[in-house]
A and B are shown apart, each in its own frame.
Chain A
Amino acid sequence: MSDTTDTGPVLAADGTPLKRSLNRALRQQKMRALMLIAPLLLFVLLSFILPIANMLTRSVNNDIVADTLPLTVVELNVWDSDSGELPGENVYAAFVSDMVVAIEAKRHTRLGTRLNYESTGMSSLFRKSGRKIKNLDPATDGPFKDKLIEISEGWGKVETWREIKTHSVRITNGYFLNAIDMRRTPEGAQAQPEDKRILIKLFGRTLWMSLIITGSCILLAYPVAWILANLPMRTSNMLMILVLLPFWTSLLVRTSAWKVLLQQQGVINEILVWLGLIDDANRLVMINNQTGTIIAMTHILLPFMILPMYSVMQTIQPTYLRAAKSMGATNWTAFWRVYFPQSIPGIGAGSILVFILSIGYYITPEIVGGTKGVFISNRIAYHISSSLNWGLAAALGAILLAVVLLLYWCYDKIVGIDNVKLG
């Protein structure tokens, strides 16, 4: 060995410098790992992340006005909407030629529906005028201004044209403004009239109820997690089954169980009446309101709080408590100053998880929440499937998603996403 006078780089067996050889090996290892991950990553990106991103673009996308009325939009851009005067004949002529094409393609009612989200009456204006405008020939029948006003008074109002102009942009903040109880007007963003402001309240209620649910989960989960962590292994495994059984049971089964229990002719009310604690006439109303949602969701999400708390408490040495007591701490001081601080990571992990899950809940509020106990998710579902105002649904979804991702990021920072445990 000592006869190597070569002071050059250390060589690997095949003669390449060791450093390069090691680097290559490392690179190969990285590549192999990435190759294993790639199929799944692509799958999730394509079929999960992309659809959500695609949905989010709908919250700002507003092509329909500019696509259906291309000529009118150009003409309206020249018109001064603050003048208080009706737009000139050129706008009306452009509008008629746009509308004839749109009616041919049966797109004018969709445009009417779109504008109806912003000011009621637009949908019927477009539908009714449509039939008559169809008979006009844009090339020969001009001038159109008076004819249109004759067809419907709506075309003689400055507001109608201002509305169309306001919403003619291709990228709009209108849906997001609607989502926070405001609306897009020619003068900029303005608050909705008093009677239309429901969404901010709904967001507030969603957050508030999620907080209550998280709080009651903490209160109920802490003693259970403590006893599971401190009992002998055999007993705690048996009790763990009681926690895992509801966790494994179908969500709909548990929700229907609460429906059976909470309704006015339900088990809880029957027992209370039988015991004589309440009158038959004033049975408790516990379902189709916030109470129902809170009780049912606390029950459903409780395992998600117990499991992280348990895994943290398992690692806390019981000897610490005994040491504290032997040095003269009372039971309470020993718990509060020694045990509790060590269990905070578990509380944090569980709370964030429960909070994230509860603000996006849909099924349980839908079934036991009635009208007073529903969440923002139910509103999103309503806009997707009933009112068909997809842009507003997407905007509401985007706000909810932003809140959830923020919490997810916190969770990742505090707990680490790979520390999630199931069962």
Chain B
Amino acid sequence: MAALTPISRKPQSFVLPIVAAAGAFVGLFFGTANGSGFVGMMGGAVITAGLAWLYFNVLKTERLAMWISLAVALVLCIYLVGVPGVVLGVAFGLFFWWFSYWLYEGRYRARLLPYLTPGQVLWHYGFRIICGCIFFFLVSPLVPVMWLSFNAQDFFTFTPEMLRFDPEGYSLKHYQDFFTNNEWQRSFKNSLIIAPIATIISVSLGTLAAIGLSQSHVPGRRAIMAILISPMIVPLIISATGMFFFYSDIGNFLEGTLGMGKNLVGYIKVILAHAVLGIPFVIITVTATLVGFDNSLTRAAANMGADPVTTFFRVQMPLILPGVISGGLFAFITSFDEVVVVLFVGSASQKTLPWQMFTGLREQISPTILAVATILVVMSILLLTTVELLRRRSERLRGMSPA
């Protein structure tokens, strides 16, 4: 952004009405929750604007104003809502204190270009609020899931004890259930068997093919690419249907002619099916990494007498490793998260975690699902962090500016 714009105090005739309007907006909700929206609105407006007036004209110290705001908001919220109101009270107290001074001291202009009109300033912040709402829409659905997974009751809904932050209302029993229930444990184990093996297959084949595809002269490159990406594009239900018929034939062949165990054949079918589904992700990430790969390095290695295999493992592989790993993580999560294909191709003994969750969601609603969901969210945060770190490392390795 541009240089710091000089800021100046704004007239109170501008600040107080805005603060009052915000107060009225918040008060409206408290009002409707307690019977009368109108009283809430007026109360909110009067309290916030009055406090702001007090700060600007009498107090003149920001620090003290913060404590007053907090105290007033806390008392009000606890009075109106009860114990859970503590959270709301802290949030609203801090917000109105900050908001009043932000407007009064003209701080909202500090980071903007000096020549913007008031309308543009309003739009600037309005736009950020819209974006904030969309980000909220993206992330917030995960919060109640995590919260409810600690429910002491067997319900999908919040109990009054939970809202009062009463320790009675919370328990780890759904986690305990997940870790002790045979069914969940078996499906978790199945997922941990199937996903890594499928990932290894798709990563090893996918990396080779991506290296082949990134050579300069590949006949029919576009068509090959289209075929290799297609498992991502074709609707899962169609892939699943096709594989259902096809793999049952293969399975019969393996069991009947080669005399393999029923269980083993089941795993082979699911693993192969999942390996195919993971391939597009490996291809996409590895080819993206190879775009920045300097081919003169392999030529230099060959020049110094390395054979292609040595060149690959000693020169090319270390450089593209971040891309390969993040492709692998994508493939892993695809398999770990896949339910449609395994539902059609697998049999009961290959029941994976998503399958178990899916039947749980359709039939018996058990909050253990929410505990599993929370564990999966934590896992995806870890995976996401790994991928992000790898991406930065890869960019550093390729000499791009660190993003």
Partners in one complex: yes
Interface residues of A (CB under 8 A from B): 26, 29-30, 32-37, 39-41, 43-45, 47-55, 58, 220, 223-224, 227, 232-233, 237, 239, 241-246, 248-261, 263, 265-267, 270, 274-277, 299, 302-303, 331, 356, 359-363, 366-367, 377, 380-381, 384-385, 390, 393-394, 397, 400-401, 404-405, 408, 412, 417-418, 420-423
Are A51 and B209 within 8 A (Cβ)? no
Are A48 and B235 within 8 A (Cβ)? no
Q: Using Cβ atoms and an 8 Å threshold, which residues of chain A touch B276?
A: 43-44, 47-48
Q: For the complex, what is the distance from the CA of A267 to the CA of B217, rounded to whole Å?
A: 57
Are B219 and A52 within 8 A (Cβ)? no
**Range of interface residues on B (Cβ < 8 Å):** 35 or more
Are A253 and B403 within 8 A (Cβ)? no
Which segment of B87-95, B97-105, B165-173, B332-340 sits at the interface? B332-340
Are A253 and B142 within 8 A (Cβ)? yes
CB < 8 Å: which of B219, B337, B340 contacts A362?
B340
Q: Using Cβ atoms and an 8 Å threshold, which residues of chain B touch A44?
A: 227-228, 230-231, 276, 279
Q: Which 5 A-B pairs have the closest CB atoms?
A: A360-B235, A36-B212, A51-B246, A276-B32, A51-B242
Are B245 and A54 within 8 A (Cβ)? yes
**A408 and B33 contact, Cβ closer than 8 Å, known pairs A40-B206, A239-B135, A360-B238:** no
Are A48 and B337 within 8 A (Cβ)? no
Q: Using Cβ atoms and an 8 Å threshold, which residues of chain A touch B52?
A: none
Are A252 and B218 within 8 A (Cβ)? no
B14 at the interface (CB under 8 A from A): no
CB < 8 Å: which of B37, B213, B233 contacts A33?
B213
Are A55 and B245 within 8 A (Cβ)? yes
**A400 and B284 contact, Cβ closer than 8 Å, known pairs A267-B158, A275-B33:** no
Contact with A along B248-279 (1 / 0, CB 8 A): 00000000000000000000000011011001
Q: For the complex, what is the distance from the CA of A252 to the CA of B191, rounded to whole Å?
A: 14
**Nearest-CB distance from B336 to chain A (Å)?**
8
Are A30 and B219 within 8 A (Cβ)? yes
CB < 8 Å: which of A37, A53, A276, A412 contacts B226?
A412
Q: For the complex, what is the distance from the CA of A423 to the CA of B392, rounded to whole Å?
A: 12
CB < 8 Å: which of B139, B205, B272, B387 contacts A242?
B139
**Nearest-CB distance from B51 to chain A (Å)?**
24
Q: Using Cβ atoms and an 8 Å threshold, which residues of chain A touch B208?
A: 36-37, 39-40
**Nearest-CB distance from A37 to chain B (Å)?**
4
Q: For the complex, what is the distance from the CA of A361 to the CA of B235, rounded to whole Å?
A: 7
Pairs A–B under 8 Å by Cβ, sample size 24: A33-B212, A36-B215, A37-B209, A39-B205, A41-B228, A45-B227, A49-B227, A51-B242, A51-B245, A51-B246, A55-B246, A248-B381, A250-B373, A251-B354, A252-B354, A252-B357, A252-B361, A260-B144, A260-B145, A266-B157, A274-B33, A359-B235, A362-B235, A417-B226
Q: For the complex, what is the distance from the CA of A413 to the CA of B89, rounded to whole Å?
A: 55
Contact with A along B323-342 (1 / 0, CB 8 A): 00010001001001101100
Contact with A along B200-232 (1 / 0, CB 8 A): 000001101101110111110010111111110
Interface of A is mostly: helix
Q: Using Cβ atoms and an 8 Å threshold, which residues of chain A touch B354?
A: 250-252
Are A256 and B357 within 8 A (Cβ)? yes
CB < 8 Å: which of B156, B384, B388 contacts A266?
B156
**Considering only CB atoms, which chain B residue lies closest to A257 in the complex?**
B141
Given A51-B239, A245-B384, A400-B235, 11 additional A-B pairs, CB 8 A: A30-B218, A36-B208, A39-B208, A43-B205, A51-B245, A224-B135, A245-B138, A276-B32, A361-B235, A394-B241, A422-B281
B244 at the interface (CB under 8 A from A): yes
B164 at the interface (CB under 8 A from A): no
Q: For the complex, what is the distance from the CA of A51 to the CA of B403, rounded to whole Å?
A: 43
Are B141 and A275 within 8 A (Cβ)? no
Q: For the complex, what is the distance from the CA of A276 to the CA of B244, rounded to whole Å?
A: 51
Q: For the complex, what is the distance from the CA of A16 to the CA of B142, rounded to whole Å?
A: 68
Are A51 and B237 within 8 A (Cβ)? no
Q: For the complex, what is the distance from the CA of A33 to the CA of B237, rounded to whole Å?
A: 33
**Nearest-CB distance from A416 to chain B (Å)?**
8
Q: Using Cβ atoms and an 8 Å threshold, which residues of chain B touch A33?
A: 212-213, 215, 217-218
Residues 62 to 100 of chain B near chain A (Cβ within 8 Å)? none
Are B370 and A256 within 8 A (Cβ)? yes
Q: For the complex, what is the distance from the CA of A72 to the CA of B371, rounded to whole Å?
A: 61
Q: For the complex, what is the distance from the CA of A44 to the CA of B231, rounded to whole Å?
A: 8
Listed residue (A237, A266, A362, A367) with the most chain B CB atoms within 10 angstroms of its CB: A362
Q: For the complex, what is the distance from the CA of A35 to the CA of B219, rounded to whole Å?
A: 12
Q: Using Cβ atoms and an 8 Å threshold, which residues of chain B touch A418?
A: 225, 287
Residues 118 to 166 of chain B near chain A (Cβ within 8 Å)? 120, 123, 127-128, 130-131, 134-135, 137-139, 141-142, 144-145, 148, 156-158
Interface of B is mostly: helix
Contact with A along B277-297 (1 / 0, CB 8 A): 001010011011000000000
**A404 and B228 contact, Cβ closer than 8 Å, known pairs A245-B381, A249-B377, A302-B138:** no
CB < 8 Å: which of B142, B237, B362, B376 contacts A377?
B237
B304 at the interface (CB under 8 A from A): no
Q: Using Cβ atoms and an 8 Å threshold, which residues of chain B touch A380?
A: 237-238, 241
Q: For the complex, what is the distance from the CA of A245 to the CA of B158, rounded to whole Å?
A: 24
CB < 8 Å: which of A30, A41, A241, A253 contacts B224?
A41
Are B144 and A257 within 8 A (Cβ)? yes
Q: For the complex, what is the distance from the CA of A39 to the CA of B211, rounded to whole Å?
A: 13
Listed residue (A40, A255, A263) with the most chain B CB atoms within 10 angstroms of its CB: A40
Q: Using Cβ atoms and an 8 Å threshold, which residues of chain A touch B37?
A: 276
Are B236 and A362 within 8 A (Cβ)? yes
Q: Using Cβ atoms and an 8 Å threshold, which residues of chain B touch A233?
A: 403
**A40 and B228 contact, Cβ closer than 8 Å, known pairs A242-B139, A256-B373, A302-B138:** yes
**A421 and B288 contact, Cβ closer than 8 Å, known pairs A32-B215, A34-B219, A331-B120:** yes
**Considering only CB atoms, which chain A residue lies closest to B336 in the complex?**
A250
Are B141 and A261 within 8 A (Cβ)? yes
**Nearest-CB distance from B304 to chain A (Å)?**
20
**A421 and B284 contact, Cβ closer than 8 Å, known pairs A51-B246, A255-B361:** yes
B344 at the interface (CB under 8 A from A): yes
Are A26 and B217 within 8 A (Cβ)? yes
Are A423 and B387 within 8 A (Cβ)? yes
**A52 and B234 contact, Cβ closer than 8 Å, known pairs A257-B373, A266-B157:** yes
**Considering only CB atoms, which chain A residue lies closest to B373 in the complex?**
A253
Q: Using Cβ atoms and an 8 Å threshold, which residues of chain A touch B128?
A: 227
B247 at the interface (CB under 8 A from A): yes
B243 at the interface (CB under 8 A from A): yes
**Nearest-CB distance from A270 to chain B (Å)?**
7
**A422 and B285 contact, Cβ closer than 8 Å, known pairs A48-B231, A245-B139, A404-B234:** yes
Listed residue (B128, B226, B235) with the most chain A CB atoms within 10 angstroms of its CB: B235
